[in-house]
Amino acid sequence: MHPGLCRPNAALLRSFCRCCLSRAQSLPGGSLSSLPRQMSRWNSLENNSPSPAQKPPRVLITGGLGQLGVGLAQILREQYGSENVILSDIKKPPPHVLSSGPFVYADVLDYKHLRELIINYRVTWLIHYSALLSAVGEANVALARKINITENCLRIFVPSTIGAFGPSSPRDPAPDLCVQRPRTIYGVSKVHGELMGEYLHHKYGLDFRCLRYPGVISVNTPPGGGTTDYAVQIFHDALSTGHYECYLRPDTRLPMMHISDCHRATIEFMQAPECQMSLRTYNIAAMSFTPEEVAEEIRKHLPHLKVTYNPDSVRQNIADSWPVRFDDTNARRDWGWAPAFQLEELVSDMLRSVRDKRTNEGLPVS
C-alpha cells in the first residue's frame, strides 16, 4: 500500500477502456442462475446454464474474502464452472476456499498487476468488492480513499451502498436519483465510484453496473465495522448469552437485506441485457426495520432475549444521515428485481444458521 489516492492517469485509463471494451461487447446477455429453493425464479441449474452457443463469462472478484465474495463465487461457479470464476484478495485464503476454485493474490492498488490478471485470465466480468466499511473507514480515511476508489473496465460491477446518501437526501424513501452528499469517507468514495462509472459509460461505452446495497445480513462473516452490523451481532448474542447491547437507538430504522437476496440481485443484474437498463446505478430493497423490531421478532423464537441500548455517537450520527427506506421501483421494472426474504423469514433463517454454526464449532447455544 502506498500513500495517496490510487487513480490511473486519464490517458492510460482511456487506453485500457478501449482495449477491453471490444471484448466486453461480446458478453452473453445471460440467463438466471439457481439458488436455494426459496428463490423460485431460479428453478434449475440445467435450465439456466449458458447455451452451447454462448461462452460463459470469465469472472474476477476482488476483495473476495470479505462478506460477499466467497458466497457469490460459489453460486457463479455452480452456474458457469469453477475455472471461470477467480477469487482474489490480499489475505491468505482458508483451505476450503483454496480447494473450491481458482484464487489469486491481487492488490487493487497495483493497477499494472490487476490489468495483467484481466488479460491473462481473459476476464470479461470484474466484480469489485474491495472496500472499507463505514465506521472503519472513518478511522482509516487515507486507506479508505485508496481502496474504495478504483477505475477499471470490462463489464464491471462496483457495489454502492446506503452510505452513498446524506442528511440532505430524501429519506423515506430514497429514490435512485436525488441529492446525495454523504458525510462519511465511505459514502463519498462510493458516490465517486458511481459518477466515475457513469462518466466512463457515457464517454467510452464502458459497461458499468452498480447496485446500492442496504445493510446485508449474513451468518458466514463476522461483523466488520459497518453501521448496520448490529443486525448480525444480535443473532450471535441472542444464542450465546441471551443479551445484546445495541449501539443504535431502538427506533433507528434502516434498509436491510438477506445475503441470499443480495447475491441473487447481483447476478441477475450482471446477466441483464444492457437494453433493459435505464440507469447504471440502482437501489435494491427488501425490508426496513429498527433494532426494536428485529428484537421483537427474535423473541418469538427466544423469549428470554434481553436487549439494552447504549448509542455510539459515531455510528448513530451515520445512521441518522441515511435513508430509512430505498425506492427500488426502477430495478423491479427494468430487470425484474424482487426480494425473497422479509423480516420473518430472515430471522428464522439467521437463528437456524447461527445455531448450526455454533453447534458445529463446539460453542454453547443459549
User: Do 93 and 65 contact (CB within 8 A), yes or no?
Assistant: yes
Whether 240 is in a domain gets the answer no
SS3 82: helix
Query: b/e for 102-116, b at 16 or more Cβ within 10 A?
Result: bbeebbbbbbeebbe
Number of domains in the chain: 1
State the amino acid at position 358 in one-letter form: R
Whether 95 is in a domain gets the answer yes
Whether 306 is in a domain gets the answer no
Q: Residue 314 pLDDT > 70, yes or no?
A: yes
Contacts of 86 (CB under 8 A, 6+ apart): 58, 59, 60, 61, 101, 102, 103, 104, 117, 121, 123
Task: Summarize pLDDT for 268-282 with one digit per residue, the tens.
Answer: 999 999 999 999 999
What pLDDT, on the 0 to 100 scale, is given for residue 28? Answer: 39
Instruction: Indicate the length of the chain as a whole number.
Output: 366
Whether 358 is in a domain gets the answer no
Whether 301 is in a domain gets the answer no
Task: Summarize pLDDT for 114-157 with one digit per residue, the tens.
Answer: 888 888 898 999 999 886 444 444 454 444 444 343 444 478 89
Residue 206: pLDDT band with limits 50, 70, 90: confident
Range of 125's domain?
10-216+258-287+324-342
Q: Which of 176-180, 225-229, 304-308 has the lowest mean pLDDT?
A: 225-229
Whether 332 is in a domain gets the answer yes
Whether 275 is in a domain gets the answer yes
Residue 365: pLDDT band with limits 50, 70, 90: confident
What pLDDT, on the 0 to 100 scale, is given for residue 34? Answer: 35
Q: Residue 58 pLDDT > 70, yes or no?
A: yes
Just list the catalytic residues.
Answer: 186
What pLDDT, on the 0 to 100 scale, is given for residue 201? Answer: 86
- Bridge-partner residues for 289, per DSSP? 254
CATH number reported for the structural domain that contains residue 88 in this entry = 3.40.50.720
Task: Summarize pLDDT for 80-97 with one digit per residue, the tens.
Answer: 999 999 999 999 999 999
Contacts of 335 (CB under 8 A, 6+ apart): 268, 269, 272, 276, 277
Whether 3 is in a domain gets the answer no
SS3 50: coil
**Phi, psi angle pair for 155, to nearest 5°:** -80, 105
What pLDDT, on the 0 to 100 scale, is given for residue 110? Answer: 83
Structure pTM? Answer: 0.80
